[in-house]
A and B are shown apart, each in its own frame.
Chain A
Amino acid sequence: MNRKLLIILTIVVVLLSYFCFQKISGGYEPDIEFKNLQLNVKEIQLNGGFKPIWFSKTENPAVAIEVVFHNEGARSFKDTPGILKLTVSTVLSGSKKYSEKEIHELFIDNNIDLSLESDSDDLMIHIYTVSKNFELAINLAEEVFSNAIFDNKKLKIQKQKIIENYNQARFYGDYIADQELSKLIYGEDHPYYEGNIDYVIPKIQKYTQNDIRLCYGKLLVPKDATVTIAGNVDETLIKKCFTNMFNNLSRIKKNNFKEVIQTAEIKNPGKIIHKELDTSQSTIIFALPGILRDSNEKFAYVFVNEFLGGSSVAFNNKLFKEIRDKSGLAYAIGTEISNRDMSSVLFGFAKTAPENVGKLIEKTKEVIKKTAEEGLSNEDLKYYKICKYSRQPMETCKDIVSFLSKCRFNNVKLTEINSYPFNYYKLTVEEVNKVMKKILNVNNMVFVDCGKTVLEAK
């Protein structure tokens, strides 16, 4: 009886264990070999002395285009803050041939997604459409951008809207912290610092239709523009359309914006600034001096960023592991290298409850110091290489254009594109750790926290 009971009990325990803990055969971790990219990219020379177009032909019946007009970003309008924003937001309000309504109907009816954007450094046209509408899209872009009329009534409305947005931004931690950090690390006279909201708003209020037209006359100068295209389009058509568009723009557009000198340094190292803001969540951003983009240490620099707080290893970078996973101090935390022309500073960001700001700042410093001391092991490096560089996500035409655009920004030659990731892949642990020790120095960090806490500025 006892024996039978024992057998029954054993069977029950085994069955229970099976149902409670079904093991999926783990350990299936295939090796990941490094592979060069397989992008088919060629240059298309344009008539007229313009930079060649980079073109990657794909099979999908869509096309993505990016045109970057260098040096035409906000930094070239330091004395007239906000004018570029106002100009860009009004440019599609009508042209000589089409009213605003007609422009947008043409875009919608033909599935053309066209936008004009600006950042600190550049002005960009993005176009995404079906392949068969490529020529129509470029012709439309040429018409609206060459012949924009800047309706005065619409300008006034946009001005009002932008001013309201600036006034609202006073209460957003992200905006305040970003402005304060720019002032701190670059200085008030630097082109990357737009100015206090109370300085910018009166300026915007005074801009006239003539000011906007003068500003616009300096934009979209094709001389140094770079064009990157991916999609299923004929090369001859690309050449024809862009030669036409650029020659027309060249006749009416001029500027003397200059290339700028890059810096990796920051002013005021070691400073911590607090900006009081009545909000339930504090925004913290920090910066460290970085490595110049044309340095031969730049590849190692990128790795340091990924290891510390980069997005390629979103769950396994140091800051995520220590500050979010283990300490629960922040939901949002990470780092990135500035992609601005004049800066290659390393930035970090976090959001946390006001009562945790002091703890978070101290913990961040602790993690950075320890990371610099311990460095990367060979295992770590191998892992990060695999995560970041064994394969690139290029699902859509837009992904391809984005990647090629970054290559151009980093002065990668056409012949080096497919093997470009190998520059990271061949790094040694010594090279990476050398750069890590150089950059990750907590004495050089600056912090800005925007929220309800009070922190003594140092």
Chain B
Amino acid sequence: MKIKILFISIAFIFSVNAKIEIHQEILINGLKVIIVPMKSNEVVRLGIVYNVGSADDPMCKIGLSHFLEHMMFKGTKTHSGPQFKQLLDKYSMYTNATTSQDYTVYFHSLHKDFLETILKLEADRMINLKFDNKDVESERNVVADERNMRCDSDPEGRHIADTIQRAKYLHSNYGINAIGYPQHIKNYSKKALIKHYRKFYKPNNATIIVVGDVSITEVVDKIKATFNRITVSSEAVKRNRVLDPTDLNLKHSIERSSDQIKRSTIEFIYTFDRKHIDSLRKMFTLDILNICLGANRRSILYQELVEKKQAVYSVSSGLETPAFDKCFFSIFAHMKSENDDKNVEKQISDIVNNLIPTYLTKELFEKVKNTIFESQDLLLDNPGDMFLYIINTAIALGYNLEDVKNLKEIITQITFEELQKMAKEILIENNKVCRIYIHPDEEASKYKDQTN
């Protein structure tokens, strides 16, 4: 999903026909504000992003940020839980929140007339959240149920996401999924919640994003009127992250088989250093590489493995670029049952190892760049995509919005040689750190897992 947003949002930024503004400023209390006015039938996307995610959670309480996200809907000292939720439902067409490993976002889709009301509700829960014992206990069960739904009840992926995440990040908190483990969920306390909330939920640790049918000055005035009254009594939070060591050179092979699994899949994960995304130019070069390799039916992997060789049912590639620590490039294939995993692995490796000069051609590169340019108009129809793009780039990865405004030149200047260089540096055997093979096994009742 992230790569798709970046891909289509590149085009959006340098639209030829419409002038797009991105306004940003920082309030006196440190709150960052980003506003993007665009036509959207009087609908506005509003979000507030806090720089806190599960990778900031205390040990043995991973998922606390996510749990806190749930508690943010339970009421404040000024509005009881039912009142708060009633107001959200009344003035917001759609409202929700999400917690990743690096940030927590509360977002709304609303009519522009009610922007002020929702801003006030956000300000209220930023500083006045209440923590009722009964709410904490009932929400604990809800979160446990959510964990069960997302991670533990899937017959194919049951628990395996935890194993894969830990294989990718041995030491850091990125190695645990944002929702935490069941035993962590049991361990959350009201005291820990309050401490976490007071540490991270403040204006100098947050960004407000507004996209849609608005005027910049009006929105800035409303935000200032609401949030400037919130004073800050401590410095901005410094995120203390334990990074994974880069010299271990560990390789993981995870195999899962069961009589409850009826489809075979295989995945390869390559690691790469953050230096490959330390500028927007490099980030978009990486995006182009991903599109060329596996993002759609025109991609190299799809054409070779699905169309020509008919070796697999489907194949795709993807990126994982957290705010800190190393990044990952993955290739995923849905295998045919009669295919041997080693054979599929060899075929994928043959393609990846011979990307240059055989598969990654200048012609393909130019086509992908051209598609990006051509898709610009679609983005003018969708403020939601712009909203996500801002979060994924400026917030999650910390790119300067001034660079975003010059994106057209950046994309135009990316050369084929840069793309080749990136492919040569990232997609090498030595960087392949994880192999995950999930397949049926009629002899294995329940699950048989092997990790090496």
Contact = CB atoms under 8 A, between A and B. Distances in A.
Nearest to B40: A395
Interface string A124-167: 00001111100000000000000000000100010011001101
A424 to B, nearest CB: 15
Contact of A24 (B40, B123, B261): B123
Interface string B82-123: 100111111101110000000000000101011011001001
Contacts of B262: 164, 167-168, 170-171
B141 interface: yes
A401 to B, nearest CB: 12
A23 interface: yes
Contact of A351 (B79, B123, B149, B155): B149
Contacts of A100: 307
Contacts of A332: 145, 149
Contacts of A62: 377-378, 380-382
B252 interface: no
Nearest to A108: B298
Interface in B117-171: 117, 120, 123-124, 127-128, 137-146, 148-149, 152-153, 155-156, 158
Contact of B85 (A111, A315, A352): A315
B128 A21 contact: yes
A172 B154 CA distance: 7
Contacts of B425: none
Contacts of B94: 393
A278 interface: yes
B77 A21 contact: yes
Contact of A111 (B127, B145, B310, B371): B371
A280 interface: yes
B313 A161 contact: yes
B128 A22 contact: yes
A423 to B, nearest CB: 19
A387 interface: yes
B19 interface: no
B90 A386 contact: yes
A111 B124 CA distance: 43
A84 to B, nearest CB: 20
Contact of A22 (B127, B148, B307, B375): B127
A80 B408 CA distance: 53
A202 interface: no
Contacts of A321: 82
A391 B261 CA distance: 46
Contact of A325 (B91, B114, B138, B212): B138
SS class of chain A's interface: helix, strand, loop or mixed?
loop
A331 B142 contact: yes
Interface stretch (A27-35, A257-265, A287-295): A27-35
Interface string A168-180: 1011110000000
A25 interface: yes
Contact of A279 (B116, B153, B334): B153
A393 B120 contact: no
B337 interface: yes
B142 A111 contact: no
A129 B8 CA distance: 13
Contacts of B142: 324, 328, 330-331
Contacts of B88: 315
Interface centre among A26, A29, A101, A324 (most CB of B within 10 A): A26
B115 to A, nearest CB: 11
Interface centre among B78, B123, B378 (most CB of A within 10 A): B378
A383 B260 contact: no
Interface string B366-404: 010011001101101111100000000000000000000
B413 interface: no
B297 interface: yes
B343 interface: no
A394 B297 contact: no
B116 A28 contact: yes
Interface of B: 17, 39-41, 43, 73, 77-79, 81-82, 85-91, 93-95, 109, 111, 113-114, 116-117, 120, 123-124, 127-128, 137-146, 148-149, 152-153, 155-156, 158, 212, 226, 229-231, 233, 260-263, 296-298, 303, 307, 310, 313, 334, 336-337, 367, 370-371, 374-375, 377-378, 380-384, 446
7 contacts: A24-B123, A101-B297, A101-B303, A168-B263, A395-B212, A396-B40, A396-B381
